[in-house]
């Protein structure tokens, strides 16, 4: 794997934001930092532009945004390569993310527009129309781990709902964010709607200025701590908030599970994107009768993964996004080992921003690695004796994003019904069928995205009622 003597992070000055390749330490590129004092003017321009944009129907807005599809598809390999260079994921995954976003754009816009069509409800006396109108100006702040799909899933429903958007990509992936946004901004300008979408670059200072500014909706994906700060800041203005926050997803493996399938899932979900995934499997609870066999297979499977720079052929696991993230992950691992955990895989220091795929056993819930979000390539395996204990352990967390249960269908479903996570997969990952929302429970989410229910959270519901033609008094 590439060696960097001094792990570096993206560097911000008053005038520019410098993006650093976490695998090599090389400068990928630079963007202009948006001065904090400029943000109120940006918000004012967005509010002015919202009047004309909001007067269009959701269908008309979706049709304008479809003008970005060809440009996004044409630039998808370039955008995906930028994602790999900026945050480290394997090139096939970076380009795959960008291509999927481009290819699904039109279908996504149609789904959002359909979700925002008026709905009629009636009873004997009253007929009501439910309208989904714009909220106004939206701030959308997105993370670095999926720098194409996260913006797409938040910006598009905000725009189709008739809001104008100030989009701040992560300071770790500013080039990817700007490249993804460019075709959308071009399509809007070509249709006579400048300032409907603007990109704001910067770090926490710019993010806070956007949240505290004169906006009506704040959409954020990121850490629980940042989400709590945003909710507090937005509360003084009674702003609408949609938050997807951290996770500590459990995987429960029953004694009647297909161990090969469970190991394959665990390998993928613990180490994909170097564990830097909101629904990464961070806690694995395995029935005591099969824990040894499961763990042995998991170690063998993880040993086969190749780590290196995402731009290298055949790489499965890239680096941490920056030195700070590596320090966090290594500290959790070393703390667990000091407290008695056994390191079955992952011995030895790795250069630069890399953390080797690691498998730990002999864990308990007194260890921070079983309670705090890790966001790194670590599989933590703990045994349980019966189904009740498995449920108790899985629910012993403030988080509640996703989870999975592997075992016979009836038994796995019975356990899934008792879990406190918002999304659970049975013998698979937690993602739902098309049209289902992406939801976080407890301290993993506030509001949600996706599907008709999620798309409508980007709009103001209005109820307009009149007397029915027949029946009693209105």
**Which listed residue (18, 86, 244, 373) is catalytic?**
244
Identify the pLDDT of residue 469.
Answer: 81
pLDDT at site 48:
98
CA atoms within 13 A on the CB side of 192: 5
Give the model confidence (pLDDT) of 281-326 as tens digits. Answer: 999 999 999 999 999 999 999 999 999 999 999 999 999 999 999 9
Tens of pLDDT, residues 146-185: 999 999 999 999 999 999 999 999 999 999 999 999 999 9
Give the pLDDT score at 5.
Answer: 46
pLDDT band at 11 (very low <50, low <70, confident <90, very high): low
> Which residues is 438 bridged to in the sheet?
449
Is it the case that residue 474 has pLDDT exceeding 50? no
Active-site residue, from 86, 93, 171, 278: 278
Long-range CB pairs of 333-337, under 8 A, 24+ apart, other chains included: 333/358, 333/360, 333/369, 333/378, 335/367, 335/368, 335/369, 336/360, 336/363, 336/367, 336/368, 336/369, 336/370, 336/380
Instruction: Check whether 449 has a pLDDT greater than 70.
Output: yes
Residue range 253-279: average pLDDT? 98
27 pLDDT more than 60: yes
Q: What is the pLDDT of residues 339-378, one digit of tens each?
A: 999 999 999 889 999 999 999 999 999 999 999 999 999 9
Q: What pLDDT, on a 0 to 100 scale, did the predictor assign at position 348?
A: 82
In the chain, list all ranges with CATH 3.40.605.10: 11-245+440-463
**Higher local confidence (pLDDT), 119 or 470:** 119
* Mean pLDDT on 432-442: 93
Residue 3 has pLDDT above 80, yes or no: no
CA 279 distance to own-chain centroid: 8
Amino acid 14: pLDDT: 65
pLDDT-derived band at 12 (thresholds 50, 70, 90) equals: low
Given this model, what pLDDT does residue 2 score? 46
CATH topology of domain 11-245+440-463: Aldehyde Dehydrogenase; Chain A, domain 1 (3.40.605)
CATH code of domain 249-426: 3.40.309.10
* 3-class secondary structure per residue, 390-421: HHHHHHCCCCCCEEEEECCHHHHHHHHCCCCC
What mean pLDDT, rounded, does the chain reach? 95
User: Is 244 noted as a catalytic residue in this protein?
Assistant: yes
pTM attached to this predicted model: 0.95
Q: What is the mean pLDDT of residues 249-270?
A: 98
Among 137, 131, 173, which Cα is nearest to 51's? 137
Give ranges for CATH 3.40.309.10 in the chain.
Answer: 249-426
User: Tell me: the pLDDT tens digits for 64-88?
Assistant: 999 999 999 999 999 999 999 999 9
pLDDT higher at 469 or 127? 127
Q: Quick one: pLDDT at residue 349?
A: 80
């Amino acid at each position: 794997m590439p060696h960097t003597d001094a792990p570096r992070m993206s560097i911000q000055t008053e005038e520019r934001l410098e993006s650093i390749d976490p695998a090599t330490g090389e400068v990928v590129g630079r963007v202009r930092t948006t001065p904090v004092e400029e943000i109120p003017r940006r918000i004012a321009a967005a509010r002015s532009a919202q009047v004309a944009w909001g007067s269009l129907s959701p269908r008309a807005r979706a049709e304008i945004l479809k003008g970005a599809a060809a440009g996004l598809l044409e630039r998808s390999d370039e955008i995906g390569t930028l994602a790999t260079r900026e945050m480290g994921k394997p090139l096939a995954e970076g380009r795959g993310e960008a291509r999927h976003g481009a290819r699904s754009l039109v279908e996504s816009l149609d789904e959002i527009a359909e979700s925002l069509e008026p709905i009629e409800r009636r009873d004997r006396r009253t007929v009501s129309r439910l309208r989904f109108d714009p909220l106004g100006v939206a701030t959308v702040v997105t993370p670095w781990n999926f720098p194409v799909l996260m913006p797409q899933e938040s910006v598009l429903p905000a725009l189709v709902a008739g809001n104008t958007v100030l989009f701040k990509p992560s300071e770790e992936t500013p080039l990817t964010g700007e490249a993804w946004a460019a075709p959308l901004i071009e399509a809007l300008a070509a249709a006579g709607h400048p300032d409907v979408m603007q990109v704001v670059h910067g770090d926490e200072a710019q993010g806070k200025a956007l949240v505290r500014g004169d906006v009506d909706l704040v959409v954020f994906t990121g850490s629980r701590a940042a989400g709590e700060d945003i909710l507090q800041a937005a509360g003084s203005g009674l702003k609408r908030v949609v938050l997807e926050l951290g996770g500590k997803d459990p995987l429960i493996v029953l004694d009647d599970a297909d161990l090969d399938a469970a190991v394959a899932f665990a390998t993928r979900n613990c180490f994909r994107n170097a564990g830097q995934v909101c629904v990464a499997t961070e806690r694995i609870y395995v029935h005591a009768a099969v824990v040894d066999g499961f763990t042995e297979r998991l170690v063998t499977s993880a040993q086969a993964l190749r780590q290196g720079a995402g731009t290298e052929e055949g790489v499965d696991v890239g680096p941490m996004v920056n030195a700070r993230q590596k320090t966090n992950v290594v500290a959790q691992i070393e703390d667990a080992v000091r407290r008695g955990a056994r390191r079955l895989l992952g011995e030895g220091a790795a250069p630069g921003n890399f953390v080797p795929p690691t498998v730990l056993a002999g864990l308990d819930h007194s260890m921070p690695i079983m309670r705090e979000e890790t966001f790194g390539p670590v599989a933590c395996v703990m045994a349980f004796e019966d189904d009740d204990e498995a449920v108790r352990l899985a629910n012993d967390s403030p988080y509640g994003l996703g989870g999975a249960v592997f075992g016979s269908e009836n038994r796995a479903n019975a356990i899934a019904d008792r879990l406190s996570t918002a999304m659970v997969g049975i013998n698979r990952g937690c993602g739902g069928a098309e049209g289902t929302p992406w939801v976080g429970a407890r301290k993993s989410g506030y509001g949600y995205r996706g599907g008709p229910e999620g798309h409508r959270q980007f709009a103001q519901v209005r109820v307009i009622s009149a007397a029915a033609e027949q029946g009693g008094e209105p």
